[in-house]
Amino acid sequence: MIKYDPHSMKAEEFINDEEIRNTLDYAKEHKNDIKLIDEIITKARERKGLDHREASVLLACEDPVKINEIYDLAEQIKKDFYGNRIVLFAPLYLSNYCVNGCLYCPYHLKNKHIARKKLTQEEVAREVIALQDMGHKRLAIESGEDPVNNPIEYILECINTIYSVKHKNGAIRRVNVNIAATTVENYRKLKDAGIGTYILFQETYNRENYERLHPTGPKHDYAYHTEAMDRAMEGGIDDVGVGVLFGLDNYAYEFAGLLMHAEHLEAVQGVGPHTISVPRVKHADDIDPGDFDNSLSDDMFCKIAACIRIAVPYTGMIISTRETPEVREKIIRLGVSQISGGSRTSVGGYAEAERPHDTEQFDVSDNRTLDEVVNWLMRSGYIPSFCTACYREGRTGDRFMELCKSGQIQNCCHPNALMTLKEFLIDYASEDTVKLGEAMIDREIDTIPAQKVRETVRDRLTKIENGDRDFRF
Ligand code: SAM
């Protein structure tokens, strides 16, 4: 019998199948145990998080009154730690060449009817110019796994190109990387190239199902994939982003697995994941989400987000354009801190006038432009933020968590959000968005607690109007 041990470096011990199954049984047994649920909610109110068992009981809870309490608490914790800011980013697809056989992904090796494409450095620069012209400052680069077509040298060259493009007032100030699990040495190279977060989705924590869904290619190796974040951290990357592809397996199993992964990183690396992503399987070329009979309702999806928010209060949560505007509106309230906007999931898609579909990874369900997303966020009471300050100021890993815990975020992230929003309004926004944005900045300056910071922000906003850029705390 393999024993559960969050301190172990072995995948099967820190993500332990038996412990997950016992957790699900325990959660089922106690789903209407109001006394226990009240105790867990009381503990969650301390804002120090919950373990995977406690959080799984809340996820299983069926009492409508308690579910509302969970939602209210999630919303409050989000406000306390992240204020009303939402950070914006876009994915940039570099190459869809891939040697893996993932059954849910159209880039799988056996898909012979999808067009294969890999960007040249000139094409990367063209994509970056198009993204800068939308107003983006933060990207997540995406690539299939192919040691011949997309070796680490290619990824590093692309990162270098992305950071070097300075078009008008534009700049990409943070590149996050979502590429296949790799070696410590390669992670060190990514760190040296100045990446922000290294993102890798587990897809599913259920080993048996994982091996079935990844029948061929290097990604078949469950342990190598699951232990990737430890290697990334050994390579010096402080901020890692985890996630599962909801729909592939039982959501409650994935939820417990996600939290166990976070507990493991906290136990052995001293810091949990920087972000958790919650993608759901989508229709794509050669892919029918109906083939995976674990789809979950929008309501359950939102409940998962709320339970993640209260279980790991200091971990950012990301929602992509896989979701519709309606679902995004609902779920943001419950704890999301970052969203993508104006996304194109095809290789070379941003430089095209019309959204191309031939190399797309999945169908996008929120097709609005970045300006429309920014406008919508403000109408819903959120401050769209293009801030990239933390990792550039060395606030990564536990130093970022400290900032979160100290309550200094309101003197730091909040002004950074306002100053980067101001840049967006001047350089890229439509007339209506400018009007909304200026009013929002005026209102929100007054909520900066420290008077000195408030004065500095006012001064910097004037400087931004006069052409200066890239101020940060
Ligand atoms: N090749 C890298 C890897 O294996 O991790 C990068 C991943 S890929 C470009 C980004 C993510 O897209 C995958 O990890 C997967 O979760 C997600 N994805 C793949 N097919 C999808 C689909 N049909 N619908 C939604 N998301 C999908």
Residue 284 alpha carbon, nearest atom of ligand 1: 23
Atom of ligand 1 nearest to the CA of 98: 1
Test site for ligand 1: of 200, 203, 346, 361, most ligand atoms within 8 A of the Cβ: 361
Whose C-alpha lies nearest to ligand 1, atom 6? Answer: 179
* Poorest-pLDDT segment among 184-193, 291-300, 341-350: 291-300
Atom of ligand 1 nearest to the CA of 142: 9
Q: What is the pLDDT of residue 405?
A: 74
Q: Is the pLDDT of residue 349 over 90?
A: yes
Amino acid at 371: D
Judge whether 201 and 242 are in contact, CB under 8 Å: yes
Whole-number pLDDT of residue 399: 86
Q: Are strands 85-95 and 383-385 parallel, antiparallel or unpaired?
A: parallel
Q: Which of 152, 202, 245, 285 to mutate to test the pocket of ligand 1 (most atoms within 8 A of CB)?
A: 245
With a pLDDT cut of 70, the percent of the chain lying above it is 100
Ligand 1, residue 219: give the atom nearest the CA: 4
What is the C-alpha separation between 334 and 460, in angstroms, rounded? 32
What is the phi/psi pair of residue 2, to 5°?
-85, 130
Residue 404 pLDDT more than 80?
A: no
pLDDT score of 393 more than 80: yes
Higher-pLDDT residue of 420 and 355 is: 420
* pLDDT at residue 309, as a whole number: 98
Asked whether residue 340 carries a pLDDT value surpassing 80, the answer given is yes
Query: Does the pLDDT at position 400 exceed 90?
Result: no
In the predicted model, what is the mean pLDDT of the chain?
Answer: 96
pLDDT at residue 406 tops 90: no
pLDDT above 90 for 244? yes
Q: What per-residue confidence (pLDDT) applies to 353?
A: 87
- Residue 258 burial by CB count (10 A; 0-12/13-18/19+): exposed, middle or buried? buried
- pLDDT of 401 reads 78
Contact 117, 359 (CB under 8 A): yes
Q: Ligand 1: distance of its center to the CA of 106 in Å?
A: 9
The atom of ligand 1 lying closest to the CA of 201 is 14
The model's confidence at residue 280, banded by pLDDT at 50, 70 and 90, is very high
pLDDT class of 351 with cuts at 50, 70, 90: very high
- Cα(462) to centroid(ligand 1), Å: 42
Residue 396: HSE in the Cβ half-sphere, 13 Å Cα cutoff? 19
Q: How confident is the model at residue 220 (pLDDT cuts 50, 70, 90)?
A: very high
**Predicted pLDDT of residue 355:** 86
| % of the chain exceeding 90 in pLDDT | 93
Tell me the CA–centroid distance for residue 105 and ligand 1, in Å.
Answer: 6
pLDDT at 232: 98
Residues with CB under 6 A from ligand 1: 104-105, 142, 144-145, 178-180, 200-201, 203, 219, 245, 279, 281-282, 284, 287, 322, 361-362
pLDDT tops 90 at residue 408? no
Average pLDDT over residues 372-394: 96
Give pLDDT tens digits for 94-138. Answer: 999 999 999 999 999 999 999 999 999 999 999 999 999 999 999
Average pLDDT over residues 400-414: 82
Residue 293 has pLDDT above 90, yes or no: no
Amino acid 1: pLDDT:
82
What is the mean pLDDT of the segment spanning 84-91? 98
Distance CA 467, CA 444 (A): 22
For the segment 306-323, what is each residue's pLDDT rounded down to a tens digit?
999 999 999 999 999 999
SS (H, E, C) the chain: CCCCCCCCCCHHHHCCHHHHHHHHHHHHHCCCCHHHHHHHHHHHHCCCCCCHHHHHHHHHCCCHHHHHHHHHHHHHHHHHHHCCEEEEEEEEEEECCCCCCCCCCCCCCCCCCCCCCECCHHHHHHHHHHHHHHCCCEEEEEECCCCCCCCHHHHHHHHHHHHHCCCCCCCCCEEEEECCCCCHHHHHHHHHCCCCCEECCCECCCHHHHHHHCCCCHHHCHHHHHCHHHHHHHCCCCCEEEEECECCCCHHHHHHHHHHHHHHHHHHHCCCCCEEECCECCCECCECHHHCCCCCCHHHHHHHHHHHHHHCCCCEEEECCCCCHHHHHHHHCCCCCEEECCCCCCCCCCCCCCCCCCCCCCCCCCCCCHHHHHHHHHHCCCEEECCCHHHHCCCCHHHHHHHHHHCHHHHCHHHHHHHHHHHHHHHCCCHHHHHHHHHHHHHHHCCCCCHHHHHHHHHHHHHHHCCCCCCCC
- Side-chain-facing half-sphere of 31: CA atoms under 13 Å: 14
pTM: 0.98
Q: How confident is the model at residue 270 (pLDDT cuts 50, 70, 90)?
A: very high
Residue whose CB lies within 8 A of the most ligand 1 atoms, among 100, 178, 214, for a mutation test: 178
Residue whose CB lies within 8 A of the most ligand 1 atoms, among 92, 100, 190, 201, for a mutation test: 201
